[in-house]
Amino acid sequence: MGNIRITKQFNFETGHALYGYDGKCRNVHGHSYKLSVTVIGRPITDTAHVKLGMVIDFGDLKKIVKEEIVDQFDHATVFNKNTPHVELAQELTDRGHNVILADYQPTSENMVLDFADKIMARLPKNISLHSLKLQETDTSFAEWYASDN
């Protein structure tokens, strides 16, 4: 039996600001992100296995992505921890807001790299992350492919 790709899609709302950027995105704003996660593997052939015929149970993939990405980033505001936004982040945190201080500029490109690392660390040995697509707007997205890395 050959390799099969399985994709699950997720939605979450996240705010961010791009410190030092020369456009409107330097201001705090938010997006309705859409994340498509594609893994690759061989379907289970063991007839005694409860997940016979599956590469990975969609529920298992959902649990990984929900815990690592969605639960962390949904309704959070992401700032680069090395910018003056740290003072704003502290003020928001003190007022009970969910704030993430990232080690990177929170662009879609950097977020998708971060997400790839987090998801790969949790996948079973026989399953590989094939690709991620992080859609920031209806017409703008960043993609990560294992074959490119």
φ, ψ of residue 10 in degrees (nearest 5): -135, 155
**Longest C-alpha distance within the chain, in Å?**
59
Catalytic residue, chosen from 49, 75, 91, 97, is 75
What values do phi and psi take at 122, rounded to 5? -105, -10
Phi then psi for 60, rounded to 5 degrees? -70, -40
Active site residue 130: no
Q: Tokens for 22?
A: 């020369």
Selected catalytic residue, list 25, 31, 109, 143: 25
To which residue do tokens 């939605």 refer?
Answer: 11
Residue 109 is among the residues annotated as catalytic for this protein: no
Tokens of 41: 């593997």
> In the annotation, is 29 catalytic?
no
For residues 117 and 144, the answer to whether their CB atoms sit within 8 Å is no
Catalytic residues: 25, 75, 136
